[in-house]
């Protein structure tokens, strides 16, 4: 089975079986403003300013990555025992999808199963995306 064929549109119900997300992305302006300066450092060359700004951006990315890793650990601890039972009458499509993905009968979705689906769907979505 091809990676693209692993998930049908109906399979997306696997992600929706647990909850709806209330997360909203931050305003892009709020992300950029800390990196904008009205005044540079006195005597700083254009190249030095670009280097300093690049370092600030890289440091900011490192901070975001660390926060995300910590949040993942926190979620793993808090949700380790979360199990969503599936009702064959209500959740037939979810059960069919889970059977295809996990290649076994499924009567519940665990947090570990949910994470596997999220990562598989992300990988499937990223396949074919050009990289530098």
Domain boundary assignment for the chain: 44-79, 81-127
pTM: 0.54
pLDDT at site 12: 66
Average pLDDT over the chain reads 83
Separation of alpha carbons 102 and 74, rounded Å: 26
User: What are the structure tokens assigned to 79, written together?
Assistant: 């949700």
pLDDT in tens, 13-48: 666 665 556 778 888 888 887 767 666 677 888 888
φ/ψ (deg, to 5) at 39: -120, 135
Alpha-helical regions (H) of 20-110 = 28-32, 46-79, 92-102
Short-list 111, 53, 34, 59, CA closest to 80: 111
pLDDT one-digit tens code per residue, 57-71: 999 999 999 999 999
């Amino acid at each position: 089975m091809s990676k693209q064929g692993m998930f049908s549109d109906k399979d997306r119900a696997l992600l929706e079986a647990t909850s709806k997300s209330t997360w909203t992305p931050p305003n892009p302006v709020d992300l950029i403003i800390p990196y904008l300066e009205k005044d540079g450092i006195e005597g700083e060359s254009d190249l030095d300013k670009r280097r300093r700004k690049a370092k600030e951006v890289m440091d900011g990315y490192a901070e975001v990555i660390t926060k995300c890793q910590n949040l993942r650990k926190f979620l793993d601890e808090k949700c380790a025992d979360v199990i969503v039972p599936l009702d064959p009458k209500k959740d037939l499509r979810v059960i069919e999808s889970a059977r295809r993905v996990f290649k076994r009968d499924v009567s519940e979705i665990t947090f570990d199963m949910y994470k596997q689906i999220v990562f598989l769907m992300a990988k499937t979505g990223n396949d074919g995306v050009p990289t530098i």
